[in-house]
Amino acid sequence: MQALTTSERDGLANMLRERKQMMRDEIREGLAKMRAEGHEDVLAGTPDAGDEGLAMLVTEVTNAEVARDAAELRDILAAEARIASGRYAICIDCEEPIPYARLAAYPTAKRCIGCQEIHEAARGRARPA
């Protein structure tokens, strides 16, 4: 069953491609920043915190941003693989078509809204989008 028209699918594929490029750039920048910063610049305004603790904090924050971008990049690559295999826009749980409106807002969606809610409830936490 195909939920999308060809032009809808092509438009979403374009969105994914642009987003993929953005994530690649952000990950590269994040990694370059981590290497370049040395984590010393943030210490000036916070004399009470231990140097090592602050350096670790910055490293963790930057890593979290990079990790989040990397996770999104993986989602995008998986969505592109589903497009290539003809499984895009089909819920991986119930195999019903995922509505275009949901994909337009969230092109890497792999579940319909109903299954996504069940999935998130099962994991005990909600994810944005």
Other CB atoms closer than 10 Å to residue 100's CB: what's the count? 16
Interacting stretch for Zn ion, rule CB under 5 A, among 22-30, 65-73, 90-98, 118-126?
90-98
Nearer Cβ to Zn ion (66/98): 98
CB of 8 to Zn ion, least distance (A): 19
Nearer Cβ to Zn ion (10/95): 95
Nearer Cβ to Zn ion (66/91): 91
Q: Does 120 interact with Zn ion (rule: CB under 5 A)?
A: no
List the structure tokens of 94: 């119930």
Nearer Cβ to Zn ion (16/109): 109
Residue from the set 40, 93, 117, 120 that interacts with Zn ion by CB under 5 A: 93
Burial of 110 (C-beta count, 10 Å sphere; 0-12/13-18/19+):
buried
For 43-74, letters b (16+ CB in 10 Å) and e give: eeeeeeeeeeebbeebeeebeebbeebbebbe
Triad 68, 74, 76: Cα angle to 5°: 105
Interacting stretch for Zn ion, rule CB under 5 A, among 17-25, 38-46, 51-59, 105-113?
105-113
Q: How far is residue 90's CA from residue 74's CA, in Å, rounded to a whole number?
A: 18
Which chain residues interact with Zn ion by CB under 5 A?
A: 91, 93-94, 112, 115
